[in-house]
């Protein structure tokens, strides 16, 4: 009996490993127990039999998305009504995705649809980056497909272009162009660098003139957003344009105001 108890004590941690690994990989799953999920390989095999929705921001979707997916932002005021109207003539399952793993938007979108009486909804919670690495032919980057996985920007590359709020402010000079890419609500009439910055929407077409000027005049672009999250998507456009001299404010305007 003692040997049996020792064996069970030894075995118990091993039996828990798969569960622990699943929770570590997808920590938000336990927060949304009623939201069914769909795995990477299954979504790929059923991609023509389901409707896939990207629930991130428009800019994120325009930068990188699953081929043939539709954009429907989680915060869109017509989110529910759009799905309800769609469901009237569309019986296929609905799959929602975002950036994956630690991002909660895919679960929130599925839950929102469920509470509105919409059936057959799923969260693809592995996210866009896992998809691109596995199926680059079924992904779109800046309007082009397939996507070369090596073009995915690593956390290290992003970090190399980050400056602390203090260093960002000290870097401003005659050889720089400062861009505030926050939206109107986020700005709330507060300009961090009056008379020294340009307010530009997060829109590549509207940003292009500043990018071209930075290249032409050999100036450095200094860019900040609200909390330092949207700049990671802007980096794809800057790199695609061949720009090397650019930096973002780590933590965005919120970090600067708390500096």
Give the pLDDT score at 12. 39
SS3 of residue 97 by DSSP: strand
Confidence of residue 23 (pLDDT cuts 50, 70, 90): low
Question: What is the mean pLDDT of the segment spanning 47-67?
Answer: 98
Can you read off the two tokens belonging to residue 115? 């509470």
Residues 212 and 190: their CA atoms lie apart, in Å, by 27
Check pLDDT > 80 for residue 1: no
Burial of 24 (C-beta count, 10 Å sphere; 0-12/13-18/19+):
exposed
Q: Compute the distance between CA of residue 187 and CA of residue 185 in angstroms, rounded to an integer.
A: 6
Mean pLDDT of 15-25: 46
Check whether 9 has a pLDDT greater than 60. no
List the one residue out of 141, 129, 124 whose CA is nearest residue 43: 124
Question: Per-residue pLDDT for 22 more than 50?
Answer: no
Residue 18 has pLDDT above 90, yes or no: no
Return the pLDDT at 77. 97
Chain center to CA of 145: 19
Residue 231, exposed/middle/buried by CB under 10 A (0-12, 13-18, 19+)? Answer: buried
- Per the prediction, the chain carries an average pLDDT of 91
Contact 50, 92 (CB under 8 A): yes
pLDDT of residue 243: 95
Tens-place pLDDT, residues 198-207: 999 999 999 9
Cβ(58)–Cβ(73) below 8 Å: yes
Residue 184 has a pLDDT of 85
162-163 sheet: strands from edge to edge: 162-163, 246-249, 220-224, 176-180, 197-199
Torsion angle in degrees (nearest 10) through CA of 143, 144, 148, 152: -10
- Of residues 186 and 45, the one with the higher pLDDT is 45
pLDDT in tens, 164-193: 999 999 999 999 999 999 998 888 778 899
Instruction: Determine which of 14-18, 78-82, 145-149 has the lowest per-residue pLDDT on average.
Output: 14-18
**What whole-number distance in Å separates Cα of residue 38 and Cα of residue 93?**
11
Evaluate whether 223 touches 181 at the Cβ level (below 8 Å): yes
Instruction: Calculate what percentage of the chain has a pLDDT beyond 90.
Output: 87
């Amino acid at each position: 009996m003692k040997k049996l108890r020792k064996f069970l004590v030894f075995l118990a941690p091993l039996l828990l490993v798969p569960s622990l690994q699943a929770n570590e990989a997808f920590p938000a799953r336990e927060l949304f127990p009623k939201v069914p999920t769909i795995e990477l390989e299954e979504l790929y095999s059923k991609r023509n039999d389901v409707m896939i929705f990207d629930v991130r921001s428009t800019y994120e979707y325009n930068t990188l998305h699953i081929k043939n997916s539709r954009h429907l932002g989680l915060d869109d005021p017509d989110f529910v009504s759009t799905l309800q109207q769609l469901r009237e003539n569309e019986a296929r399952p609905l799959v929602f995705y975002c950036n994956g793993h630690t991002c909660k938007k895919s679960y929130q979108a599925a839950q929102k649809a469920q509470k509105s009486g919409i059936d057959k909804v799923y969260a693809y919670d592995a996210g866009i980056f896992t998809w691109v690495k596995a199926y680059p032919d079924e992904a779109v980057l800046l309007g082009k497909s397939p996507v070369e996985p090596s073009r995915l920007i690593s956390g290290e590359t992003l970090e190399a272009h980050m400056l602390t709020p203090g260093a960002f402010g000290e870097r401003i000079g005659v050889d720089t162009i400062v861009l505030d890419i926050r939206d109107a609500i986020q700005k709330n009439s507060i300009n961090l660098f009056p008379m020294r910055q340009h307010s530009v929407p997060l829109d590549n077409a509207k940003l292009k003139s500043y990018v071209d000027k930075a290249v032409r005049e050999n100036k450095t672009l200094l860019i900040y957003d609200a909390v330092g999250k949207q700049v990671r998507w802007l980096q794809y456009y800057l790199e695609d344009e061949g720009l090397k001299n650019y930096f973002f404010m780590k933590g965005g305007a919120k970090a600067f105001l708390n500096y």
